[in-house]
Amino acid sequence: MKKYLIVVLILISVQIISAQSFPKFLSRINSAPEGLKASLADSFLKAVPAFPFLEDTLAHFILKQNARKVTVDSDFNN
């Protein structure tokens, strides 16, 4: 049953990636039951081919750990 659930979550994540924007995917995770949030996020991370996750003109940098502050060094930051 657990393997079946994981396969279903991966398929859902792949469909979400191709059909929705990243903010909508985050909204879906936040509205999911507490027991499914981590599985949805993990399946998304496995389904994305490369990081940063590119969406139109946006690049989403995804960190999978707890943090109080995250910065990205670049020429655009001082």
* Enclosing domain of residue 25: 2-47
Evaluate whether residue 22 is within a structural domain. yes
Q: Which residues of 24-41 are buried (b: 16+ CB within 10 A; e: fewer)?
A: ebeebbeeeeeeeeebbb
Q: What is the pLDDT of residues 1-28, one digit of tens each?
A: 555 555 545 555 555 555 568 888 888 8
Note the residue count of the chain. 78
In a domain, 72, yes or no: no
CA angle 57, 60, 65 (to 5 degrees): 175
On the question of pLDDT at 42 being above 80, the answer is yes
Q: Which residue has the tokens 């940063």?
A: 52
Q: Is residue 63 part of a domain?
A: no
pLDDT at 10: 53
Domain assignment of residue 15, yes or no: yes
- Examine residue 68 and state whether it is found in any structural domain, yes or no: no
The total number of structural domains that make up the chain: 1
